[in-house]
Amino acid sequence: MSSSHITSVRLKKGWLWTRNMYPRLVILSRGPRLYSTRRLAEEAQKAGWAVRIIDPLSLTVVVDEKGGRIFHRGWPIECEAVIPRIGYSITRRGVAIVRQFEQMGVIVLNQSLSIERSRDKLLASQVMADAGVPIPVTAHVASTTDIDSALARVGGVPCVVKTTEGTQGSGVFLARNYPQVRQLVSQMLERGMKPLVQTYIEESHGKDIRVLVVGGKVAAAMRRRASGSEFRSNFHLGGSVERVQLNEKFVSVALSAANILGMDIAGVDLLESANGPLVLEVNSSPGLEGIEGASRVNVAGAVAEHLNKRLEAVERQNKEEEEFVNSSSDQSSVITD
């Protein structure tokens, strides 16, 4: 990665990253060579940012009565913006780091609360349902005695059984009969998981639509199709992708889902039901490889453009506040008889 946008001062240990004429962006990622991470870094640099990719597990949060700081290998991190690419396995640690950046006044895409909501499928469904966003009927099963009641609510079998946490299709199963439902739910409960039973949308079997929302606008969309007998359509499970043109209803639902969860960047997964689009889930760290390839849209570039708009808004607000303070100071220094 080019370092032309970075001014560094060599100290005894590590590097102190200082701002020169370029705003500083930290991408939190455990995979600096992953497609999405690389693309975000490339487009941010083109847009004028000095970029560092940092493993979130290498950061230390220190809080005190003055607020708090974040340190990388013993040295404080200062930047204007952060893009979190936090994996499910380190959600709690990653969210704590993102929250600290927020408290330091750093621009963050997405914020900690948005990440937390998206990582819990039941919580995300509750938030969206409360706002009137269409979703498949979903029931939380706290014990095996709840199975019959849950199945009655979601329309019986076949149904989808899933855990409240998981990504890229993990922890999601199609149960075709009652014994399968009971077995899956029992196994999840034994492992300390929180099982959900969800209505099976037959007409959307093996396919869904992924919509990439950036800054309150649809940046790109694609249809994903499952491979072979697999009913999950995730790209990482070998599914195929194709460009898709969204109608107004699908656009509206995708934007509503991203907005109610407070996301600057969102991968909204929609099922194509007979009654219209249903939000299956919303991803706070959506992959870019499949959708950029299918849609031929520079999604990473759209993220960089949105980041610049956020920075401009912050700088404009800071300037207005400074002018107000200076104006108030000038008025208070005037002596009248």
* pLDDT at residue 96 in the model: 97
* pLDDT at residue 8 in the model: 36
CATH code, domain carrying 146: 3.30.1490.20
DSSP string, 48-90: T-EEEEE-GGGEEEE--TT--EEEETTEE---SEEEE---GGG
Structure confidence by residue, pLDDT tens digits, 195-247: 999 999 999 998 999 999 999 999 999 999 987 656 655 555 557 899 999 99
* Residue 134 reports pLDDT greater than 60: yes
For residue 323, being part of any structural domain is answered with no
Residues 193 and 216 in one domain: no
Count of domains forming the chain? 3
Residues 104 and 193 in one domain: no
Least confident range from 54-58, 74-78, 165-169, 277-281: namely: 165-169
Residue 264's nearest CA partner among 79, 33, 98 is 98
* Residue 30 reports pLDDT greater than 60: yes
CATH code, domain carrying 34: 3.40.50.20
CATH code, domain carrying 294: 3.30.470.20
Residues 225 and 261 in one domain: yes
Is residue 315 classed as helix, strand or coil in its secondary structure?
A: helix
Computed over every residue of the chain, the mean pLDDT equals 89
Domain assignment of residue 73, given as a range = 7-108
Least confident range from 3-7, 15-19, 20-24, 227-231: namely: 3-7
Least confident range from 6-20, 34-48, 139-153: namely: 6-20
Least confident range from 70-79, 170-179, 323-332: namely: 323-332
Please say whether the dihedral angle defined by the alpha carbons of residues 144, 145, 151 and 157, taken in this order, is positive or negative: positive
More confident residue, 332 or 239: 239
Residues 252 and 179 in one domain: no
* pLDDT at residue 18 in the model: 57
More confident residue, 86 or 5: 86
* pLDDT at residue 2 in the model: 40
Q: What are the CA-CA distances from residue 208 to residues 211, 272, 278, 281 (Å)?
A: 10, 7, 10, 11
Q: Which residue has the tokens 């699908």?
A: 250
Residues 190 and 212 in one domain: no
What is the pLDDT averaged over residues 157-182?
A: 89
* pLDDT at residue 114 in the model: 98
* Residue 161 reports pLDDT greater than 80: yes
Residues 183 and 274 in one domain: no
Residues 68 and 150 in one domain: no
pTM: 0.88
* pLDDT at residue 204 in the model: 92
* Residue 112 reports pLDDT greater than 80: yes
